[in-house]
Amino acid sequence: MTTQTPAAPIAKGLEGVIAGETAICKVEQDALIYRGYEIADLAANASFEEVAYLLLVGHKPSAGELKAFEDELKADRDIPAMMHDKLREGAKLITDGAAVPMDVLRTGVSVLAHMDADCQDNSADANLRKSKRLLAKIPTIIGHMQNAIDGRDFVEPDSSLSHAANLLWMMTGEKPSAEAVKVMDVSLVLYAEHDYNASTFTCRVIASTLADLHGAVCGGIAALKGPLHGGANEAAMEMLSEIRKDIGPKNDAAKINAWMQQAFADKRKLMGFGHRVYKNGDHRAPILHALGRKAAEARSDEYVKLFELGEAVQNIMETQKHIFPNVDFPCGMTYFTMGIPVPQYTPIFVASRITGWCAHIMEQHANNRIIRPRVSYTGPDLQKWNG
């Protein structure tokens, strides 16, 4: 006799299931809140470092706390010299098509674990120290990786620069403009946290086994890589590039509409649109769109035309399908306008989301119960092996 799994509602993809409690973030139709502060307020008035402190430590920093936090991050930006050759090897794999930057970044974080004296210590103090070190070092991994891909010498971290400015500096070897820093800083704020999204939930599942923080973060990076999650910003930009190639240099409304109708007929998934929670639009998308559009207008008509193409696509999706853009759609256009290589969009996401991941890992470790859901069995009935 087959033992029956207890009957329970099945929510594919865990849609609508409340899987836990958190004091870190609230995602609702009408608001995105980090520890009591709404995202538009943070984007307009807080630096990324302030938001990182808020998420990791749990409260808005005082001026003294912020200065100490910034100094600590700047002092921890260097990575071990033995990682340099690993990053050059990773860059060659990327160039050869055998890997992508997210693979190399995941490996880089794993290597850092072996050289962190706190790696196996899951205490609150040790986890916070590890979180700060990863926050500081991830931009260095990204920058060195991009320098190696471009065939340049590694650019060293600049302690005079903010987290956002240093990230841009390390990738290019050029001091970014104040406008570019502002756009990057706000994008990092917008991407920092988003409750039980796929990568954060992955981190919490791993942490719930009492695995170490580095291991949980590596799982988060692996989950974020997918085009249905963090990789959507890259996929959105690739989609716009495909439309541009197909319709030509002009934003001909009829051609754009024809392209979209064919995509609908083919039941193609258009990246950068739709969200499991935000059915009426992602609160972050218009914030980043406005900043990106302004940056495009300051650069050239080429980038303005990109945003005009994106706006045409967005209008068709909203009016004909009632599907709204998520933050990944304007992110793709914005980072492209800033000259950032498309394959680095998702690693930059990691440079921000590491704060949310680590906050959740620490919260999980502080009040842990292993995450172990049930499943509804649909296989064959019980039978004899030698029957």
- Residue 346 and residue 307 in contact, taking contact as beta carbons nearer than 8 Å: no
Given the residues 214, 283, 328, 365, select the one marked as catalytic: 328
Grouping H, G, I as helix, E, B as strand and the rest as coil, residue 321 is: helix
Give ∠ CA 281-285-286 in degrees, rounded to 5.
Answer: 95
Phi-psi region of 274 (alpha: psi -120 to 50; beta: other; left: phi over 0): left
Task: Say whether 328 is catalytic.
Answer: yes
Q: Is 119 exposed, middle or buried (0-12, 13-18, 19+ CB in 10 A)?
A: middle
Q: Enter the DSSP assignment of 320.
A: I
Please tell me the distance from the alpha carbon of residue 192 to that of residue 55, in angstroms, as a whole number. Answer: 9
Our answer to whether residue 275 is catalytic in this structure is yes
CA-to-CA distance for 173 and 166, rounded, in angstroms?
Answer: 10
Can you say how many angstroms the Cα of residue 31 is from the centroid of all Cα atoms in its chain?
19
Catalytic residue among 103, 121, 158, 229: 229
Q: Considering the candidates 214, 275, 289, 365, report the single residue annotated as catalytic.
A: 275
- What secondary structure letter does DSSP report for 12? G
Query: Residue for token digits 């029957």?
Result: 387
In the annotation, is 163 catalytic? no
Contacts of 118 by beta carbon, 8 Å cutoff, 6+ apart = 126, 127, 129, 130
- Can you read off the two tokens belonging to residue 13? 């993809």
Residues with active-site annotation: 229, 275, 328
